[in-house]
Structure 1
Amino acid sequence: MYQTETMAWSFPERARSRIPPIGQGLAVVAAVIAIAVISCGGIAGYLLSLRIAAWGSQSHAIDVQILAKRQEVQRLRNELDFRSRFPELERWSSPLGLQPADGRQYAQSVHQLDMLAAARRQHIADQLPRVGDDKGYTPQARQQLDGLFSDVAN
């Protein structure tokens, strides 16, 4: 019994005696330094992720600006194409009966729009050449129109 007690008491004394008191202090300092290094690494990783997110946000904003500029360039190209064809439109405006928009082309209601469309269809039908028994448009009428357009073009 005496020996078991001695062994029980001797083990902690030996364990204490193996690490000197100054070594215990260094172990605490080393643990604190390790915790500080790990904390600094975590903070650095967090700041790096914030930096990457900010960079991605800037990249997205630049992409949006580029898309807006591309759409503006496309709109300007379309306008330039139209304006380059404007002399041709002016040349063909009188034979084709093209006119600039006026107030009558903007309807106040659906009923008024239907009336305007019917009147325009009737106006176009009246200008088409009639051939035969009041049938309206026929292939001969198309040939006559093509002949008129070629005469005007020459």
Structure 2
Amino acid sequence: MRIPPMGQGLAVLAALGGVAVLSIGGVAGYLFSLHTASWSSQNRALDAQILAKEQEVRRLRYELEFRSRFPELERWSDPLGLQPADGRQYGLNVHQIDTLAAQRNQHIADQLPRVGGAKGYTPQARDQIDTLIDRVATN
């Protein structure tokens, strides 16, 4: 069966029309996805701005609450003997702070019980720990 020449022309036009409709649909879909992505990006930017403003409001609220306590602190400073901090309450330099921290750590280490006496780890201590763990596990 042969398609007459007039029918061939219509078939070609129909095929071209189909391709055009599909192309227009593809371009429209692409443009719609770009619009959606742009809208989503704007929403994210607005969300970030809102979050920043909320944090600013929270910071200002804390500062306002803190400053509102100043009159009360001033009123109670004399009866309670409150005074602002001075330089003597801070370490003179980093070396002094390191020395104090090392002394504190040594004091804490001295308070801890030593396993196995002065020499540290012993197999007996490991056996005692294993026995203790077994008792806890069975209970």
TM over 0.5: yes
Kindly indicate whether structure 1 or structure 2 has the higher relative contact order, using CA contacts under 8 Å at least 6 residues apart: 1
Query: Could you say if the C-alpha distance between residues 22 and 106 of structure 1 is closer, same or farther in structure 2, counting changes exceeding 3 Å?
Result: farther
Aligned residues: 100
Give the structure 1 partner of residue 96 of structure 2: 111
Query: Could you say if the C-alpha distance between residues 69 and 41 of structure 1 is closer, same or farther in structure 2, counting changes exceeding 3 Å?
Result: same
What is the rounded CA distance, in whole Å, between the counterparts of 1:67 and 1:110 in structure 2? 42
Give the structure 1 partner of residue 35 of structure 2: 51
Structure 1 window deviating more from structure 2 (103-112 vs 59-68): it is: 103-112
Tell me the secondary structure at the aligned position of residue 94 of structure 1.
Answer: helix
**1:111, distance to aligned residue in structure 2 (A):** 2.7
In structure 1, the gaps of 5 or more residues are: 1-14, 116-154
Give the structure 2 partner of residue 89 of structure 1: 73
In structure 2, the gaps of 5 or more residues are: 102-139
Q: Tell me the alpha carbon deviations over residues 69-105 of structure 1, each in whole angstroms, 9 at most, x when there is no partner.
A: 0011011111111111110011112233333344445
Query: Could you say if the C-alpha distance between residues 96 and 26 of structure 1 is closer, same or farther in structure 2, counting changes exceeding 3 Å?
Result: same
Structure of greater Rg: 1
Query: Could you say if the C-alpha distance between residues 21 and 79 of structure 1 is closer, same or farther in structure 2, counting changes exceeding 3 Å?
Result: same
Aligned ranges 1:4-83 → 2 under 5 Å: 15-16=1-2, 19-83=3-67
